[in-house]
Amino acid sequence: MSVVGRRSSDVGRKQTKMEGRKPREKCGVFGIYGPGLNVARLTYYGIFALQHRGQESAGIAILDGDKIHVQKGMGLVSEVFGNSDLDKLQGRAAIGHVRYSTTGASQLVNAQPLVFRYAGGMLGLAHNGNITNVHELHQRLTSSGAIFQSTTDSEIIVNLLARYSQASFSMEEAVIRCMQDLEGAYSLVILTEKSLFAVRDAYGFRPLCLGVLNGNYVVASESCALDTIGASFLRDVTPGEIVTINEHGLTSTQGVSCQRRAHCIFEYIYFARPDSNIDGFNVKKVRREMGRRLAQEYPVKVDLVIPVPDSGTSAALGYAEASGISFEEGLMKNRYVGRTFIQPCQEMRDVGVRLKLNPVRELLAGKRIVLIDDSLVRGTTSKKIVGMLRECGAREIHLCLSSPPVAHACYYGIDTSNEKELLAAQMSLEEIRQRITVDGLHYLSLNSLLDIFDGKKDSFCTACYSGDYPIALESAEIDRTKKLEF
């Protein structure tokens, strides 16, 4: 999907509340069963490697004897844990979590792992995903006397597990019953007094993989966390599978099954780390191929291919390779701008983007450019970047996105925002081109994107592009302001 046109000023349509930020992954999970290992430090490094999946809170729960201790806090992994904290956390198994929360829920009470004491013992849980029948389950549980401490769907899972395991089911049977109740996306790590469980929903929305470190099993949202601690990748946890790890080793059970697979394709486009392998595909290789395909779909006569770092870099390399046009790092990224930097005041609003990105004037003056980014959600940042490139004298700017237009909200664990704030849901391609003030605009087609996953193209969720939701949603939950929370 592309459009080329003359540059013009903003089309002047009514501005919606667009903040210009990228959609955010809600969480990353990690687990290790390793008697004799320093599981607290390994979990710390594991969630550190998964920091890109959530920056608002971090936590580690550790099994020591028959007790589960937990430490968690708001902030980055490095802000929540110091050396002395990790020294205090001793045990034989641990789970960890990093979280990005949606509006109104960024509170310590919602940080994970959630750890509960119940009649059957202690239970810790960390969750990546979003349960789509949360209202129905919440109603069912509260009407039978359940009280909730947090506002997360994850607490509903803990509640179900505790109930089923008290009703004379083994924990594995309780997990199966719980999976039968749950609809939506969930990759879970669960810690009990005896075992570590890794659980993935029947569609396989969110990634989860299994590795081994000196004979001890490790699970993580992404393989980059296994690499970080020196573990070898064994395989992905399969959709609907329950992996149980304890002193007897590892067993696998198919908890639930369904015909359809729905791996989140946005993981490959933006969320996952490029060095991760997910469900058989290396993220960086996929991104590079997206760039090659962009060059085929949108061949344009320009002088330079420039990425928006870092998310557009792999695709820009692919575009340059396929087109023969020079790749240049025309925008430099300040890698030290963290979550906590002081936001510029209104008079200094342009500083926001400039703090993160600075164009290399000497490279850009008088040049025709194809600018490569991964996606365009609200468009505010892209417009500012284009403005900076023009100030540096860029003569012609074409914006190429390595994904199709994001026109629908996500209900499976990604904060893609309200559909009213999605540019592609509100405007035509030509209107978007004018708003961003580029000379040409092109989105990678969905067919081309899916063709990259040769032989597996039916295994993906593409709902935010196509509107084809793998799981039907309760009508009450279509309101994004409710965020599927209760």
Q: Which residues in the 122-161 window bind ligand SF4 by CB under 6 A?
A: none
Determine the straight-line distance between the first and last CA of the chain, rounded to whole angstroms.
38
Cis geometry, peptide bond prior to residue 468 (ω within 30 degrees of 0): no
**81 touches ligand SF4 (CB under 6 A):** no
| Residue 480 · residue 128 · CB < 8 Å | no
25 or 439: CB nearest ligand SF4: 25
Member of 76, 137, 325, 461 binding ligand SF4 (CB under 6 A): 461
Least Å distance, CB 168 to ligand SF4, is 36
**264 touches ligand SF4 (CB under 6 A):** yes
What is the rounded distance in angstroms from the CA atom of residue 136 to the CA atom of residue 121?
27
**414 touches ligand SF4 (CB under 6 A):** yes
188 or 389: CB nearest ligand SF4: 188
Q: Which residues in the 202-241 window bind ligand SF4 by CB under 6 A?
A: 205
198 phi, psi to nearest 5 deg = -120, 125
Neighbouring C-beta atoms of residue 17, cutoff 10 Å:
9
DSSP single-letter state for residue 348? G
Member of 93, 188, 425, 464 binding ligand SF4 (CB under 6 A): 464
**266 touches ligand SF4 (CB under 6 A):** yes
DSSP single-letter state for residue 122? E
Q: Which helix (H) or strand (E) holds 95?
A: strand 93-99
- Number of chain residues interacting with ligand SF4 (CB under 6 A): 12
320 or 422: CB nearest ligand SF4: 422
Member of 462, 480, 484, 485 binding ligand SF4 (CB under 6 A): 462
395 phi, psi to nearest 5 deg = -85, -35
Least Å distance, CB 247 to ligand SF4, is 36
What is the rounded distance in angstroms from the CA atom of residue 423 to the CA atom of residue 435?
10
Stretch of 42-50, 341-349, 361-369, 459-467 lying at the interface with ligand SF4 (CB under 6 A): 459-467
One-letter-per-residue 3-state SS of 193-248: CCCEEEEECCCCCCCCEEEEECCEEEEECCHHHHHHCCCEEEEECCCCEEEEEECC
27 is catalytic: yes
Least Å distance, CB 456 to ligand SF4, is 15
What is the rounded distance in angstroms from the CA atom of residue 464 to the CA atom of residue 427?
16
**278 touches ligand SF4 (CB under 6 A):** no
Closest CA to 52 of 20, 28, 71, 31: 28
**453 touches ligand SF4 (CB under 6 A):** no
Least Å distance, CB 206 to ligand SF4, is 8
Residue 305 to residues 2, 61, 332: CA-CA distances in angstroms?
A: 17, 46, 14
Tokens standing for 373? 């980014």
Q: In what order do the strands lie in the sheet with 27-33?
A: 67-74, 57-64, 93-99, 27-33, 216-220, 209-213, 232-236
Least Å distance, CB 261 to ligand SF4, is 12
Least Å distance, CB 410 to ligand SF4, is 3
Catalytic residue among 27, 209, 264, 400: 27
What is the rounded distance in angstroms from the CA atom of residue 276 to the CA atom of residue 264?
14
Closest CA to 26 of 149, 118, 154, 123: 154
30 or 412: CB nearest ligand SF4: 412
24 or 177: CB nearest ligand SF4: 24
425 or 461: CB nearest ligand SF4: 461
207 or 440: CB nearest ligand SF4: 207
Member of 58, 175, 463, 471 binding ligand SF4 (CB under 6 A): 463
**424 touches ligand SF4 (CB under 6 A):** no
305 or 464: CB nearest ligand SF4: 464
Member of 186, 217, 412, 443 binding ligand SF4 (CB under 6 A): 412
32 phi, psi to nearest 5 deg = -145, 135
Residue 88 to residues 25, 71, 85, 285, 322: CA-CA distances in angstroms?
A: 30, 10, 5, 41, 53
Least Å distance, CB 414 to ligand SF4, is 4
Tell the burial category of 481 from Cβ atoms under 10 Å away from its Cβ (0-12, 13-18, 19+).
exposed
**For helices 153-166 and 134-143, what crossing angle results, to 10°?**
50
34 or 404: CB nearest ligand SF4: 404
Stretch of 162-170, 351-359, 392-400, 410-418 lying at the interface with ligand SF4 (CB under 6 A): 410-418
Stretch of 57-65, 222-230, 264-272, 319-327 lying at the interface with ligand SF4 (CB under 6 A): 264-272
Closest CA to 158 of 132, 184, 131, 168: 131
Least Å distance, CB 403 to ligand SF4, is 10
**410 touches ligand SF4 (CB under 6 A):** yes
**179 touches ligand SF4 (CB under 6 A):** no
Least Å distance, CB 262 to ligand SF4, is 7
The alpha carbon of residue 244 and the mean position of all alpha carbons in its chain are separated, in whole angstroms, by: 25
Residues engaged in binding ligand SF4 (CB under 6 A): 205, 264-266, 410, 412, 414, 416, 461-464
Q: Which residues are catalytic?
A: 27
